[in-house]
Amino acid sequence: MKTYFVDVVVPLAVPKPLTYRVPMEWELYVNQGSRVVVPIGKSKKYTGIIWRVHEEVPKDRAAKYIDEVLDDLPILSKKQMELWNWMSQYYACTLGEIMSAALPTGLKLSSETIYVSNQVDDLVLEPHELLLVEFMSKKNQVEGVSAQELQVHLPLIQVQKTVRSLLKKGALSALEEVKEKFVPKRITYLMLSPSFCSDEALQNCFNQLEKRNADKQHAALMTFIQLSNWNGIEGVAVRKKDVIQSSKTDHAAIQGLIKKGVLIQEERNERRVVGEEATRDEMPILSKEQGEAKDKILNHKGTSLLFGVTSSGKTEVYIHLIEEQLKQGKQVLFLLPEIALTTHLIHRVQAYFGEQVGVYHSGYSTHERTEVWHRVLGGKYRFNVVLGARSALFLPFENLGLIIVDEEHEGTYKQQDPAPRYQARDAAVMLGMMHEISVVLGSATPSIESMYNANSGRYQRVDLTQRFGLAQQPKVELVNLKAELAAKRVTGTFSQTLIDQISETVKQGNQVILFQNRRGYTPLWECVMCHHIPECKNCDVSLTFHKSSNELKCHYCGFVQKPPTQCPACGVQNFKMMGAGTEKIEEELQDILPHVRVGRMDMDVARGKHAHKQLLNEFEEGKLDVLVGTQMVTKGLDFSKVQLVGVLNADRMMKHPDFRALERAFQLLVQVAGRSGRREEMGRVLIQTYDTDHWIFPYVIQNDYEGFYRIEANEREQHAYPPFKRMIKLTVKHKDRAVVHKATQQIFEWLKTALNGHFFGPEEPYVSRINNYYIRVFWIRIPKMTEHLLVKQFLLDCKLNLLKEPEFKMVRFAIDVDPS
């Protein structure tokens, strides 16, 4: 008789899948890509994914049995598993780490410890132990009690400590219980009982209720009849909640009608995620250039770089490409850099394709994300178009026909921490290759890597050179802050030139966007005597002052303190604020131009689930004249009345110590400039700078990406940076500076032996301590033709060997392939 085994991926950073034995009763139900419950260690249980079914007996240990098969059909397709395998190898991470990132929490079960009391005679218990045992004796012994439940009901005792002592005395036993995290949404509906579905019976019922003075029941029943538009037909249902709210009664009134047999109560599953109905019958009309771009993409089974100037109508091309796929019964994945900031685009796509469109991102609850996952798999309400952030890449598409990556240059497509540290744009290209379908990368300012791939023939290049319709390119001008200061024409952060233009634009009934890439009120709170600046106690950074909350905050670890009134270094009670964040700029502008209505858009005011949407709606409806913001205002905004964009300080972003700094600066300046003049009138862009002679500005003014690319690519080639070399970043962290130093010296010796001449470091990064972890980094640059998988395997071996040493056991060692 055959014995079957399964290799199972669990959501832990273990090097390879774990092998389990399949009990006979489960042999017919184990499928590759299905979930199972498996034991790990002495007592824990986890959800795992069956990676392989085989008959190979493990040689190194006896295999444990799987506990349960959770799925009748696989929740992962073979293409998804192929993508996971590629990501694991390319990004030097484990399949378990990918599983943690890929599956919504609702599909990952984990065990919870349940305690049951034992009958033990002559046991001496302390008062707090006795209190806990007495509480448990009142509970159902079959079900047991969780630690969380004990903590809620017994807040005055140390639950964990008490439980441990009772376990030692044998008064308690601990069991592991696996709980399903995804629960379908259940809604209670009311229906009229068949015996009351005639006019005569219903009238008699109302008469009886009046005789008995059952006013609330009478009101509830009347409301039910009105809401259901009752016409004598059985089975018409109304939500119980709606009846109670509309009739202004209560649950008791409804229960009275149910008890009398007048109403029937029924629970039904209901969708949490409800799409919008389509509101447009006809597709947008494409220009000749847009039509040619669409045809080129449709005729190319591979990756296309859609290089279109801002406001060139890339979205219209996307919509036509989506329509072509839906006609063929295919699904479309539409990746966006930040869902929260692209609500305009989402609504436009939903307007054309209605309830076929789903949205998937971290702002959704666990249950909502799990529901979207199931509806992508199939069923009555299948999503055929999914717009999502980078995590949507992992959704289980059954019949994928097209992938679109909008604003492909955006850094948010790169996952930083924790692993897998993947680049969603590049992974999308690989997924497209696996499905043998078209992938579209769209941008007005493509990443250097993507343009290099297009120019070298790896991607097809498709250009949109004209703004759509009658829209004109904005006029970009520099404001020389040195000259303005010399002429005493600067108020706070604003030059008089910018103030005059804001005033004039608002006077004409138009709107303004102001960009400052720093949130908070002021980045430095400095003593005027000794120049002491308060720093975070956990990180090597200064604290940023936030006036609205009167707090100094660390933007790295979240540490907060009140601003000191006396300098801790010299005792002087006099501080000055240096620099300006969005909060200060908002305040300054309201002081300078009191009649102007100013709003602010940054992480401090857009934290709520719908806060950003509400702010953008106010701006679109003309309730605000000026919108001040961080990078948020550069992405996906399309407002017809924005005629002026102001960049308050362009210098800081160009001086950042990073080889991508100028690329990011160029992209930000061009993208934020593109928010201006998106209709018939020419917009205007004012960039404040102390360095008007910087070589980047002529290319920004002329919107000359090609010219910028040639210079930047030449610099990258000369200094051996991507895309001409592959780059890997190693980060080593520990709370003890001496341990970090010793660990990095060991890593240095290993790298010197194997990769001499192809790495540099260890070095301290710009911020060398975050959240009390001291940080050192290595940079590895290897030629394109080098067998990179061997190098990554060597780095993984280094990591394993390092962590085997007792003194380095708590060292954090991160491998970041293609760091952003």
Whether 277 shows a pLDDT value over 80: the answer reads: no
Tell me the whole-structure pTM to 2 decimals: 0.81
Which pLDDT score, from 0 to 100, does residue 611 have? 66
Instruction: Quickly list DSSP for 451-471.
Output: HHHHHTTSSEEEEE-S-STT-
Amino acid identity of residue 491, one-letter, is T
Q: What is the largest CA-CA distance in the chain?
A: 97
pLDDT at res. 106: 79
Map tokens 């160009």 to a residue.
654
Whether residue 120 is predicted with pLDDT greater than 70 in this model: the reply is: no
Quick one: average pLDDT of 596-622? 77
**Average pLDDT across the chain, whole number:** 86
- For residue 34, which amino acid is it? S
- H or E element: which one contains 717? helix 705-718
* Tokens, residue 176: 């592991």
Strand partners, 195: none
Residue 140 has pLDDT above 60, yes or no: no
Q: Report, as an integer, the average pLDDT of 617-639.
A: 80
Q: Is the pLDDT of residue 278 over 70?
A: no
Lowest mean pLDDT across 501-515, 568-582, 733-747: 568-582
Reported as a single tens digit per residue, the pLDDT across 477-531 is 999 999 999 999 999 889 999 999 999 999 999 999 998 888 787 778 888 888 8
Report the C-alpha gap between 692 and 700 in whole angstroms.
Answer: 12
Cα–Cα nearest to 307, from 709, 769, 789: 709
b vs e for 169-204, b when ≥16 Cβ sit within 10 Å of the residue's Cβ?
eebbeeeeebeebbeeeeeebbbbbeebbeeeebee
Distances, alpha carbon 774 to alpha carbons 246, 416, 777, in Å:
60, 18, 10
- Give the per-residue pLDDT at 480: 94
- Comparing 45-54, 604-613, 662-671, the range with the smallest average pLDDT is 604-613
Cα-based torsion angle of the residue sequence 282, 440, 443, 612 in order, rounded to the nearest 10 degrees: 60
- The answer to whether 278 and 350 have CB atoms below 8 angstroms apart is yes
% of the chain exceeding 90 in pLDDT: 43
DSSP strand pairing (68-69 vs 35-40) = antiparallel
Q: How far is CA 793 from CA 14, 339, 787, in A?
A: 15, 35, 10
Q: On the CB side of 383, how many CA atoms lie within 13 Å of its CA?
A: 29
> Please, what's the b/e burial string for 60-83 (b: 16 or more CB within 10 A of its CB; e: otherwise)?
eeeeeebbebbbeebbbbeebbeb
Tokens of 337: 């850099």
